[in-house]
Structure 1
Amino acid sequence: MIRDEGNGSGLRSRRSVLAATGGLVGTTAAGCLGSDGTSVNVLAAGSLAHTFEDHVGPAFEDETGVEIHGEYYGANAVMRMVEDRTKHPDVIVSADSTLLRDRLYGEFTDWDVEFATNSVGIGYNEETTFGRGLENGEPWHELMLATEAGDVSIGDPDLDPLGYRAVQAFGLAENEYEIEGLRDELLELVYQEPEEPQMMAGVESGSRAAAVVYHNMAVDHDMPFLEFPDAYNFAEPELADHYATVEFTTDEEGYTAEGRPVLYNATVNDEADDPDAGHDLVQFLADESDLLVEAGLTVGDSLPRPEGDLPEAINV
Structure 2
Amino acid sequence: MQSRSRRSVLTAVAAGSGLGVAGCLGDNNSVSVLAAGSLAVLIDDHLGEQFESETGISCRGEYYGTNAVMRMVRDDRKYPDVVVSADAELLRDQLYDAHAAWDISFASNAIGIAYAPNTRIGERLKGDEPWYEVVREAEPGTLAISDPDLDPLGYRAIHAFRLAEREHGLDGFAKAITEAAYREPEEPQLLAGVETGNRAAAVVYRNMAADHELPFHSFPEVYDFSNPEYTDRYAEVSYTTDEGYTATGGPIVYNATVLESADSPDAGRKFVRFLANAGDLLRENGFETEQFPRSHGDVPAEVTGR
Unpaired runs of 5+ residues, structure 1, are 1-32
Greater CA drift, 286-295 or 227-236: 286-295
Equivalent of residue 273 in structure 2, options 283, 286, 291: 283
Q: Is the 8 A contact 2:157 2:203 kept in 1?
A: yes
The answer (yes or no) to whether the contact 1:34–1:41 under 8 Å persists in 2 is: no
Distance 1:162 1:146, change over 3 A: same
CA deviations 1:223-257 (Å, max 9, x no partner) are 10011000100001121111000000001x10000
**Mapped partners of 1:298, 1:34: distance in 2:** 35
Structure 2 Cα separation of the partners of residues 34 and 48 of structure 1: 25
Match of 2:110 in 1: 119
Q: How far apart, in 2, do the equivalents of 1:116 and 1:34 lie?
A: 30
Q: Which residue of 2 aligns with 1:11?
A: none
Q: Specify the alignment match of 2:303 in structure 1.
A: 314
User: Which is further off, 284-293 or 162-171?
Assistant: 284-293
The DSSP-based 3-state class of the residue aligned with 1:314 is: helix
Aligned to 2:301, what secondary structure does the other structure show?
coil
Matched, 1:303 2:292: yes
2:8 maps to 1:38: no
Show the counterpart of 1:272: 262
* 2:98 matched residue in structure 1: 107
Among 182, 185, 190, the alignment partner of 1:194 is: 185
Q: Which residue, 39, 49, 52 being the options, matches 2:40? A: 49
Answer yes or no: is the 8 Å Cα contact 2:102–2:297 preserved in 1.
yes
SS of aligned partner of 1:115? strand
Deviations 1:52-85 (A, max 9, x none): 0011101001001111101000000000111111
Equivalent runs, 1:201-220 vs 2, <5 Å: 201-220=192-211
Query: CA offsets, 1:159-204, max 9 Å, x none?
Result: 0000000000000000000111110011121101001122211111
How far the C-alpha of 1:205 sits from its partner, in A, is: 1.5
Q: Does 1:130 align with 2:160?
A: no
Equivalent position SS for 1:70: strand
Q: Give secondary structure in 1 for the equivalent of 2:61.
A: strand
* Partner AA of 1:143 in structure 2: V
Q: Distance in 2 between matches of 1:43 and 1:34?
A: 17
The question of 1:143 aligning with 2:118 is answered no
Decide which of 53, 61, 71 is 1:62's aligned counterpart. 53
* Structure 1 residue aligned with 2:63: 72
Give 1:265's aligned amino acid.
N
* 1:138 shift after superposition: 0.7
Q: Percent identity?
A: 55
Tell me the distance in 2 between the aligned counterparts of 1:199 and 1:210. Answer: 10
- Give, as a single letter, the amino acid of the residue that structure 1 aligns with 2:184: E
- Report deviation, 1:34: 5.8
Query: Is this contact kept in 2: 1:34–1:88, CA < 8 A?
Result: no
Distance in 1 (alpha carbons) for counterparts of 2:46 and 2:107: 14
- Written as runs of structure 1 = structure 2, the 5 A alignment for 1:2-13 is none
Residue 261 of structure 1 is matched in structure 2 by 251
Report the CA distance between 1:35 and its aligned residue.
Answer: 4.7
**Alpha carbon RMSD of aligned pairs, Å?**
1.2
Q: Please state how far the C-alpha of 1:146 moved relative to its aligned partner.
A: 1.1
**CA separation in 2, counterparts of 1:151 and 1:124?**
10
Q: Assess if the C-alpha contact under 8 Å between 2:28 and 2:266 holds in 1.
A: no
For residues 102 and 297 of structure 1, the distance between their equivalents in structure 2, rounded to whole angstroms, comes to 24
Q: State the alpha-carbon separation in 1 of the partners of residues 78 and 189 from structure 2.
A: 22
| Offset, 1:37 | 3.5
- Give the superposition deviation at 1:130: 0.3
Whether contact under 8 Å (2:109, 2:287) holds in the other structure is: yes
* Residue 243 (structure 1) aligns with: 234
SS of match in other structure, 2:91: helix
Q: TM-score, normalised by structure 2?
A: 0.90
2-side partners of 1:176 and 1:168: how far apart? 12
Counterpart amino acid of residue 313 in structure 1: E
